[in-house]
Amino acid sequence: MAQFVGPNIKYTGGTHHTYTSESIDYGVWTYLEGSGSFTTKTPITCDILVIAGGGGGGLDRGGGGGAGGYIYSGSFSLPKGTYTTIVGTGGAGSTTSVGNAPSGTNSVFQHMKAIGGGGAGNQNTTGAAGGSGGGCGSQQTSGPGSGTGAQGNAGGIGNSTESGVYKRGGGGGGGASAVGGAATTSTQGVGGAGITSSITGIAVTRGGGGTGGSQFGTARSAGGGGGSGGTDSSVGGHATANTGGGGGGASDAPGGTYGGNGGSGIVIIRYKAS
């Protein structure tokens, strides 16, 4: 195994590991929280993944939070120098029916800035824009949060009450590879899909949007975090840390219920031995 940590590369705030795939040795630096630094004393070519924090899930048949912005650059030429890394935090799930859940915060490496995922809309509220946009709350059939350029996708729309029977569902949050699903008269919107990467040597899916919450007749279902399915619970599902996933929407109004938290972001640098 080649030596990656030595006089030419230094780092703070992250962790380092090595692995071999198809006879190629890789060194990987992973930053999971806060800020750190990466220093190379010689120019290197590396692969870089930057993901922002995901948006929080909505309340009262709320939408799913949008995934944090997802940036991947392969065979990136990194000049010698010291680079600051910033890992974004996930937005907290909503605890009030007013407005939007909090959005995630940005992650940064060099000039790459991944935008935090948009917070989901609560009942009758649009989703916020972000890396991927937050889903609309129930009874809001327009204006899901928009995504940012090549970083993510828009959230989905909610649906409204019909014939005096509760058929309300929130839209799904946008994901790194797909828009958030629209709610229908029978189901809440599913979070947009994320992207699977093996940059660390293990395949991991990150950047999924949160699924919306719902109430259909007497049935209540809270949305799953980070693109997962809904559960029979009034509390929205939390996204997994360091995936940038969006939080799931809660099914009911305040009173012990809350939207799911968005997942924190991540910065990963992979260098191949020459």
**Each residue of 167-181: pLDDT tens digit?**
789 999 999 999 999
Q: b/e map of 101-114 (b: 16 or more CB within 10 Å)? A: bbbbbbbbbbebbb
97 secondary structure, DSSP code:
S
**Each residue of 101-135: pLDDT tens digit?**
999 999 999 899 999 999 999 989 999 999 999 99
What is the overall mean pLDDT for the chain?
A: 91
Q: What pLDDT shows up at residue 97? A: 80
CA angle in degrees (0–180, nearest 5) for 183-190-167: 30
Q: What pLDDT shows up at residue 224? A: 83
Residue 273's pLDDT band (boundaries 50, 70, 90)? confident
Q: b/e map of 115-143 (b: 16 or more CB within 10 Å)? A: bbbbbbbbbbbbbbbbbbbbbbbbbbeeb
Q: b/e map of 55-77 (b: 16 or more CB within 10 Å)? A: bbbbbbbbbbbbbbbbbbeeebe
Element (H, E) at 85: strand 81-86
